[in-house]
Amino acid sequence: MKAENDIFSGASIKAETLSMRQWLVDIRRDLHRNPEPGLEEFRTAGEIERRLAELGIESTRAGTAVVGLLWGGMEGKTAALRADIDALPVNEETGLDFASVRGGFMHACGHDAHTAILLGAARWFSAHRKSIAGNVKFLFQPAEETSGGAQTMIAQGCLENPRVDAIFGLHVMPYLPVGKIEIKYGALNGCSTTLAITIRGKGGHGAYPESGVDAILIAAAVISALNTLVSRCVSPLDSAVLSIGTIAGGTRSNIIADEVKMSATLRSTDDRVRDLLVDKTRAMVEGISASYGGSACLEVSYGYAALVNHEEGVDMVSAAAQDVLGKDSVVWKEKPSMGVEDFSFFLKERMGAFYHLGCGGGIPGESAPLHSGKFLLEEDCLPLGVAMQVRTVLEFLKNRS
């Protein structure tokens, strides 16, 4: 396979994907009209299977996860592309004529667009399979917004048979205009961890504080201390945040509380920093509680890992964007987001990169944000997303047979 081959040029790919526009729009609008939450994407998975079959692409399904596999006409490595397929529990407020028909649910994060784009990439590769030196897997992943479907798919073997050598993914982004992509070397998204803290004291009458151990007083000391944790235990060159979101304790105004429960979220762009802060939190919570005569328990629930792009993968995405969208199409993200994305687990297993695809109208502040009931996207981004997916894979496969 030669990159200079006409069908593999950015101009040719873009022209071909632009010709798919209405097909992509129809798929996206059908999915948008029929949103399904994580692990309930049965109709969505069925539509994906049907479309892949029409394209002559074999697929397998586990639950609502679908994996398509295209064998190229020549031997080579295997690249994978991923789209998340689940919707959010959000009431739609767009007024679109193809708005959600399922009350309380909406594709407010653009996963309908991601799915349509990946099907478009499958269509392109199907049309040119004889000229491809290598194989392409199409991963349609459930439950990105909830339980983290990426880990389940990996455990089910989506990166094996044949073994995936590189993986790429995208996410539509309304603050970027159509025709732009945004990417970053290194950490792009943070990791998430939920902390559940239980502080135990000894109940008593409020008129006789010496007879009890005040769990509320201990909690106040713990809260003050935890709010110094990041500033004193993490390098200012690293990123982390710890926010206490809930607190509950006590029964009446004149009774010393014997128990207080709190919950917090911990975010960092480095899993090692996360682990350090978990250890420090545990020591601080237990130590402060003991110093007041009480005790404490910390329960840790690990969420998504930090999403860290591979340098070679970023280079490939950037090269693809400049070829397909133009030399000024790449926006380099300066700082990572503390929002999470479970594509991170794929990048822990294989080389690759994740990037943002512009879907906004171009006027800053005009487009509603992701996860909003008013979220809209410009459908001109769909064929450009397909072109980016295709060109990035070709960038990886070329000269890697």
Alpha-carbon radius of gyration of the chain? 24
End-to-end distance of the chain based on CA atoms, in angstroms?
A: 9
Cβ 176 vs Cβ 359: under 8 Å:
yes
Which residues does the annotation mark as catalytic?
Answer: 304, 379
What's the 3-state SS for the chain?
CCCCCHHHCHHHHHHHHHCCHHHHHHHHHHHHHCCCCCCCCHHHHHHHHHHHHHCCCEEEEECCEEEEEEECCEEEEEEEEEEECCCECCCCCCCCCCCCCCCCCECCCCHHHHHHHHHHHHHHHHHCHHHCEEEEEEEEECCCCCCCHHHHHHHCCCCCCCCCCEEEEEEEEEEEECCCEEECCEEEECEEEEEEEEEECECEECCCHHHCECHHHHHHHHHHHHCCHHHHHCCCCCCEEEEEEEEEECCCCCEECCEEEEEEEEEECCHHHHHHHHHHHHHHHHHHHHHCCCEEEEEEEECCCCEEECHHHHHHHHHHHHHHCCCCCEEECCCCECCCCCCHHHHHHCEEEEEEEEEECCCCCCCCCCCCCCCCCCCCHHHHHHHHHHHHHHHHHCCCC
